[in-house]
Amino acid sequence: MFDSSKERYRFRVVIPAYPAFNIYSSVAKITTALGPVCVASVVDKMEKWDAEVIDENNLGRYGPSGNEGGADHDLLQRLRPADVVGLYGGLTSTIPQLYKVARFYKDKDVIIIAGGQHFVEDNIAEGLHNGIDYVVIGEGEETVKDLLAAIVNKRDVNGIKGIAYLKAGKVIITSVRSPITDFDKFPLPNFSLVRYANIKLYPVGRVRGCGMNCEFCTVKGKPRYASPQRLLESIRLIVETRDGRHFFIVDDLFGQHRDETIQLCNMLESYQRSINRRLDFTVQIRLDKAKDSQLLLAMRRGGINTVAIGFESPIGEELKAMNKHIRPEDMIHLARVYHKFGFLVHGMFIFGYPLKEGINFKMPAKERVKCFKNFIRRAKIDTIQVLLPVPLPGTELTHRLKDKNRIYAVEDIGWEYYDGNFPLFEPDFPLTARDMQDSIRKIMSKFYQFKYAFMPIMHIISFPALVFFLYNIKLGWRKWYRPWRNALARFGGWIVMREWTNEFKKGVFIRKLQRAKEHMRSRR
């Protein structure tokens, strides 16, 4: 029972641990999620409230780890009891762990609030029947603030927009809350609220929403922009109070608002000059922004070194199914433009995307793998990530596959496998589910190999060759640095792939997949 007589209350936001080991585990140890930090920063400014964030994927050196993964919440409650716990449901693969944490705090009579992109449609009721008291639908900053005030003052929550809860066993969903457009009224994200974490890569953002309307993506809606000045202030705060240097701008598409993006890059350049320090930025950007040389030059001057690009597929028919209006040969040309401007290019791909009904296209797995390998080589991509299509809750892709009874039942597979590494639906003929999983490993294993362990050493020997570039030392450095850095990344990728493969062999997914396929055949 909530004690409304206390002088101060604690709001703990928990970012649930990834299931076992996956390809994101390594980077998760040096970063965190931006959304929970934004919500906690708002609550921490409320009267009578203190806030903290526990990222179970990044507990640093001294964080209390649980015996079965995640954090030791029993110890946390003894050290610093939380009155309300918020659970981050932004990644569907972490939902089983989220429910486990929810049940723990529910047994302690703590009020549970959850939110994130997983909680749409039927998943709202699922969450409410798994120990969650309130589900926040949409953005959380304003909703959580209103909800906590109502809890403290014992007011009826029915008037709060954008929440769902149970009343007499019935799911109540309140009226929709409008998307946030005025970001300046909120405090800057305060990363000191993330307890224990060792953060080296800081997530920051300026734009919410994306107008590209990709069939498989959960991020929709007209883009909404904070000012360039606000993002710069966020970066300044991290640099000057936490000695941060590496940043990931989480906007789904960097450069959506061109003029303000160039203004931001110019401000970043000026700031780095004023402190006499180079910062390092990674952004997600559309491939066709390579046509805008003025934007690319401003980005390079502003310290943006790495671009993450969703190539998705080198197969034209699959691009059409995804609502991507571009040809594979044009993608190769544009990728090389980024390469020439000195950007490190991280390519993101989806293997075996299901085509829409009426498209007569069939390609065996072996030919698809060859197509992917040739494209990656010709586009000169520095690092890659190849995943399988994921029928994420609420997307058009999910609805399309569900209508054809092609998605394996969650009851058979489990949400924990919704991370892009496992086949979750019946693929297009002639592919099989095993083909899908084997193929992404073949592509990644060709790219990330053990042999790259020796190349950085050999490359260091060639460092004196930079003397031949004294007329343009920046050009010489880029020519030397890129292959050295890529060799390290490819060897590191080999380690990750090996560890993932070992964990996969120990797991039970193949048995679950077989059971899911049998149940699907019986339903047909």
Q: Are 425 and 436 in contact (CB under 8 A)?
A: no
- Interval 286-316: pLDDT, tens: 999 999 999 999 999 999 999 999 999 999 9
- Interval 321-379: pLDDT, tens: 887 888 999 999 999 999 999 999 999 999 999 998 888 889 999 999 999 999 999 99
Q: Is 184 domain-assigned?
A: no
pLDDT at 54: 98
Q: Are 312 and 354 in contact (CB under 8 A)?
A: no
Domain that includes residue 72, residue range: 9-173
Within 10 A of 52 (CB to CB), how many other CB atoms are there? 20
Q: Are 219 and 209 in contact (CB under 8 A)?
A: yes
Query: Between β-strands 280-285 and 246-254, what pairing exists: parallel, antiparallel or unpaired?
Result: parallel
Q: Is 279 domain-assigned?
A: no
Q: Is the pLDDT reported for residue 146 higher than 60? A: yes
Q: Is 404 domain-assigned?
A: no
Q: What's the whole-model pTM score?
A: 0.93
Three-state helix/strand/coil letters over 135-200? EECCCCHHHHHHHHHHHHCCCCHHHCCCEEEEECCEEEECCCCCCCCCCCCCCCCCHHHECCCCCC
Specify whether the backbone of 357 is left (phi greater than 0), alpha (psi in -120 to 50) or beta.
beta
Query: Count of domains in the chain?
Result: 1
Q: Percentage of the chain with pLDDT > 70?
A: 95
Helix/strand/coil percentages in the chain, nearest 5: 45, 15, 35
| Tokens representing residue 459 in the block | 């490359």
Q: Is the pLDDT reported for residue 488 higher than 80? A: yes
User: At 18, which CATH number?
Assistant: 3.40.50.280
Task: Look at 200-209, 394-403, 431-440, 469-478 and tell me which has the smallest mean pLDDT.
Answer: 469-478
pLDDT at 473: 44
The more confident residue out of 484 and 250 is 250
**Which residues, listed in sequence order, are joined to residue 163 by a DSSP beta bridge?**
136
Q: Is 161 domain-assigned?
A: yes
Of 249, 244, 231, 233, which is closest to residue 279 (Cα–Cα)?
244
Helix (H), strand (E) at residue 332: helix 328-340
Give Cα separations from 432 to 372, 425, 427, 435 (angstroms). Answer: 18, 10, 6, 5
Per-residue pLDDT band for 69 (boundaries 50, 70, 90) equals confident
SS3 assignment, position 292:
coil
Tell me how far apart the 2 most distant CA atoms of the chain are, in Å.
77
Per-residue pLDDT band for 480 (boundaries 50, 70, 90) equals low
Q: Is 44 domain-assigned?
A: yes
Q: Is 410 domain-assigned?
A: no
CA separation for the pair 372, 443 (Å, rounded): 7
